[in-house]
């Protein structure tokens, strides 16, 4: 299956692993890349040295193209991005920030850069930066899709930019892949489908919940981590949204993040305050969100943990291997394409 994305990235199939914190780890990245897609490492929870070691581990597990992300709003993200550039990672995906410097440095060694966007304004700006492609995140997606559904967002961006589009939000099977291509995308990115696979480090409790839940069993709110975010509907998620920003908890959770990233807390605290109240408030929200996501993912905590998932959780009914997921999607997409052509 060839598209502009497979040609651009040097992969067999136009299927990308979304960079999910604590889930898109080296083992998952390599599994997707080895199966013909593009795995993307999530660097959000990692410090610079951990990021460097994760890249080395991926390279020990696969000789196929892979990527890594940098969410530029997060503390330590710029340092991680610099490590990605030093290690000459083949594909860098950035979001929530200005990534023109990443584009310039990556292109210098022949790397590719993908920006994650949610609207035409961001897409056009990314194209001006010189990015090679964009990931367009629709309303259906886990975490940070905004108000426009993929059914409308993808064709609107296809009309707005010339660079290839990877559709994210609402994709979990061959029907979705074929629909994305019909809408003007050149591939799909999946998080929720990949997190419920055998190789995924997601705790078994949440894999089971993902299978049990329906397409209506998510919550979309800006009161979980400060951005519009889609999460699995559980009592813990309902409670988190009801409470909103908990500043005392953010104070302690941000200390944990500073230790995790190897950053001096006092320096981090002053830097956050100096960035202005709006940004400080957002980072306080994210400190709490990070804690809730981590304990859900790693510990299976259903009392306090919260897991970002997309609406396609209701389309998931099994726990296959990564390779099985990709082969099933491609086979189904080709079969449906032939069926439609016959009509």
Cα-only R_g, the chain: 19
The confidence score (pLDDT) of residue 91 equals: 98
The confidence score (pLDDT) of residue 277 equals: 59
pLDDT digits (tens, 9 = 90+) for 239-248: 999 998 877 7
The confidence score (pLDDT) of residue 148 equals: 97
Q: What is the mean pLDDT of residues 33-50?
A: 96
Higher pLDDT pick, 73 / 202: 202
Q: Which two tokens stand for residue 73?
A: 């709003």
The confidence score (pLDDT) of residue 251 equals: 64
95: which strand partners? 71
Q: What rounded mean pLDDT belongs to the chain? A: 93
Residue 14 CB neighbour total at 10 angstroms: 30
Examine the pLDDT at 22 and tell me if it is beyond 80: yes
Examine the pLDDT at 162 and tell me if it is beyond 70: yes
pLDDT band at 107 (very low <50, low <70, confident <90, very high): very high
pLDDT band at 280 (very low <50, low <70, confident <90, very high): confident
pLDDT band at 182 (very low <50, low <70, confident <90, very high): very high
Nearest to 289 by CA among 307, 310, 268: 307
Examine the pLDDT at 213 and tell me if it is beyond 80: yes
Count, in order, helices (H) and strands (E) of the chain: 15, 10
Question: For the ranges 91-95, 195-199, 233-237, 276-280, which has the lowest average pLDDT?
Answer: 276-280
Q: Which of helix, strand or coil describes residue 221?
A: strand
- According to DSSP, residue 315 is labeled G
Distance of alpha carbon 325 from alpha carbon 321, whole angstroms: 6
| 155 touches 184 (CB < 8 A) | yes
- In this prediction, what percent of the chain has a pLDDT beyond 70? 93
Distance of alpha carbon 197 from alpha carbon 28, whole angstroms: 9
Q: For residue 234, count CB atoms less than 10 angstroms from its CB and return exposed for 0-12, middle for 13-18, buried for 19 or more.
A: buried
Higher pLDDT pick, 269 / 196: 196
pLDDT band at 256 (very low <50, low <70, confident <90, very high): confident
| 116 touches 77 (CB < 8 A) | no
Q: For residue 169, count CB atoms less than 10 angstroms from its CB and return exposed for 0-12, middle for 13-18, buried for 19 or more.
A: buried
The confidence score (pLDDT) of residue 259 equals: 72
**Can you list the alpha helix ranges (DSSP code H) found in 275-316?**
277-299
pLDDT band at 275 (very low <50, low <70, confident <90, very high): low
How far, CA to CA in Å, does 157 sit from each of 138, 160, 174? 11, 5, 22
Question: For the ranges 89-103, 105-119, 139-153, 283-297, which has the lowest average pLDDT?
Answer: 283-297
**Beta-strand pair 218-221/229-232:** antiparallel
Higher pLDDT pick, 299 / 274: 299
pLDDT band at 116 (very low <50, low <70, confident <90, very high): very high
Examine the pLDDT at 273 and tell me if it is beyond 80: no
pLDDT band at 19 (very low <50, low <70, confident <90, very high): very high
Distance of alpha carbon 181 from alpha carbon 301, whole angstroms: 38
The confidence score (pLDDT) of residue 250 equals: 73
Domains of the chain plus CATH, in order, are 4-202+318-342 (3.20.20.70), 214-299 (no CATH)
The confidence score (pLDDT) of residue 133 equals: 98
Question: For the ranges 13-17, 93-97, 176-180, 261-265, which has the lowest average pLDDT?
Answer: 261-265
């Amino acid at each position: 299956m060839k598209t502009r994305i497979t040609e651009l990235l040097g992969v067999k199939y136009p299927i990308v692993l979304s960079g999910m914190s604590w889930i898109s780890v080296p083992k998952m990245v390599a599994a997707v890349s080895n199966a013909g897609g593009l795995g993307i490492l999530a660097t959000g929870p990692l410090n610079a040295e951990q990021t460097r070691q994760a890249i080395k581990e991926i390279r020990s597990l696969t000789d196929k193209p892979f990527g890594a992300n940098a969410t530029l709003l997060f503390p330590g993200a710029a340092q991680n991005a610099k490590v990605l550039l030093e290690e000459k990672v083949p594909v860098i995906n950035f979001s929530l920030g200005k990534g023109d410097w990443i584009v310039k440095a990556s292109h210098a060694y022949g790397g590719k850069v993908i920006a994650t966007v949610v609207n035409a304004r961001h897409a056009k700006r990314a194209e001006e930066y010189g990015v090679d492609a964009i990931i367009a995140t629709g309303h259906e997606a886990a975490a940070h899709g905004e108000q426009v559904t993929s059914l409308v967002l993808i064709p609107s961006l296809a009309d707005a930019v010339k660079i290839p589009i990877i559709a994210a939000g609402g994709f979990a099977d061959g029907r979705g892949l074929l629909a994305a291509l019909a809408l003007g995308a050149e591939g799909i990115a999946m998080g929720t489908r990949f997190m419920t696979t055998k190789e995924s480090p997601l705790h078994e409790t949440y894999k089971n919940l993902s299978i049990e839940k329906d397409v209506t069993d998510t919550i979309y709110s800006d009161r979980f981590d400060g951005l519009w975010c889609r999460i699995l509907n559980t009592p813990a998620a309902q409670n988190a949204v009801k409470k909103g920003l908990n500043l005392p908890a953010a104070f302690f959770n941000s200390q944990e993040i500073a230790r995790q990233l190897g950053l001096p807390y006092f320096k981090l605290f002053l830097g956050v305050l100096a960035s202005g109240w709006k940004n400080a408030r957002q980072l306080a929200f994210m400190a709490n969100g990070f804690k809730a996501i981590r304990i859900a993912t790693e510990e299976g905590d259903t009392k306090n943990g919260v897991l970002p998932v997309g609406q396609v959780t209701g389309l998931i009914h099994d726990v296959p291997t990564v390779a099985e997921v990709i082969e099933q999607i491609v086979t189904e997409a080709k079969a449906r394409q032939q069926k439609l052509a016959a009509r």
